[in-house]
Structure 1
Amino acid sequence: MPNIQQIVVPINGTAESFKALSLASDLAKIYQAQICLLLVTYFSTETDDKSTYSSWLATPLTGSVSRYAESVFLRAKDLLPANIDISTHHLSGQPASKILEFTKAHNTDLIIMGCRKLNLFSSILNGSTSRQILEKSTCPVIIVK
């Protein structure tokens, strides 16, 4: 039986990313593992708009990154049982590379993540974070559809 102590679940506020939490929760109970919730945004809290200015851009791109991160983490924690050890981590940068850097630096045992079900054209045009993680990760990866 594998020794799983740390499960990283990259989340971004989408339903697809939250679907991975159910499986992560089940495995964390079995192995008494910690779940690391990892949010990667393109901007950091240092770029937060301190005013009440509202923009036509999506919240993760402008406005308060810290408020966005807090709401994503709260939603994720609400979906997990209270008796599971959870840590939260917010990084800024390109999602796939930051997830890979984090999991390598923290000796992650397993990554469980959702995918957006992109068609082939969209996947080629936009890139697929889950595909990049699957191809380049040094630890096992489970993709939840």
Structure 2
Amino acid sequence: MFRKIAVAYNESAKAQRALTSAIQLAKSLDAELEIITVVPDLPAYAAFASAADPGLPQVLNSDRVRFYEALHEGARAMARVQGIELQTHRIDGPAVDGIVKFLRTHKADLLVVGLHQRDLYIARLWSTVYELAQESPCSVLGVH
């Protein structure tokens, strides 16, 4: 049924829950598992700070790369404990567009996402998760 599972993953608790569920699902279905992390742009104030220190954007980018590498290594270790090999991917740019492009390119069968605990009406209108569900070329599983 699902041969390739992708997880939208970052440092949040909801993404951790999504990964935990996806690992269990991949193990039970003998499916491939990949995580996608969208790296946000540097905040606008970084441009102002770079006026005082022109090397600051490079330092901040290096710190972000190290942070996400460590985050991905933790996810790989968590999957290995369950006997699952996990592929990791970092994407720059807008979250929904980047994830949808990844899903199409890698032909994922299922996207697993962590759900916010918010008012349903607001979540439906504004949530990245809702937009992903509308744009995704594959099935989407939301995890509380």
TM norm structure 2:
0.77
Q: Does 1:138 align with 2:142?
A: no
Query: How far did 1:77 drift?
Result: 2.3
| Contact 2:79 2:85 survives alignment (8 Å) | no
1:43-54 alignment runs, 5 A limit: 43=41, 49-51=57-59
Q: Does 1:106 align with 2:100?
A: no
Q: Which AA in structure 2 matches 1:64?
A: D
Where does residue 68 of structure 2 map in the other structure? 69
Q: Which has the higher helix share?
A: 2
Query: How far did 1:26 drift?
Result: 1.4
User: What SS does the aligned partner of 1:79 have?
Assistant: helix
Match of 2:11 among 3, 10, 13: 13
Q: Which AA in structure 1 matches 2:10?
A: N
CA change 1:19–1:27 in 2 (3 A) is: same
Where does residue 28 of structure 1 map in the other structure? 26
Query: How far did 1:49 drift?
Result: 3.6
Unaligned regions of 5+ residues in structure 1, if any?
A: 54-61
Query: How far did 1:124 drift?
Result: 7.4
Tell me which moved more, 77-86 or 34-43.
Answer: 77-86
CA change 1:124–1:22 in 2 (3 A) is: closer
Where does residue 35 of structure 2 map in the other structure? 37
CA change 1:48–1:26 in 2 (3 A) is: farther
| Contact 2:9 2:15 survives alignment (8 Å) | yes
Q: Which AA in structure 2 matches 1:144?
A: V
TM norm structure 1:
0.77
Where does residue 59 of structure 1 map in the other structure? none
Query: How far did 1:131 drift?
Result: 0.8
2: CA distance, partners of 1:12 / 1:37: 9
2: CA distance, partners of 1:120 / 1:139: 22
Query: How far did 1:5 drift?
Result: 1.7
2: CA distance, partners of 1:113 / 1:25: 13
Q: Which AA in structure 2 matches 1:10?
A: A
2: CA distance, partners of 1:110 / 1:123: 21
CA change 1:120–1:25 in 2 (3 A) is: closer
Instruction: Figure out how many residues of one structure are paired with residues of the other and give that number.
Output: 131
Query: How far did 1:63 drift?
Result: 6.3
Query: How far did 1:71 drift?
Result: 2.4
Identical pairs, percent: 25
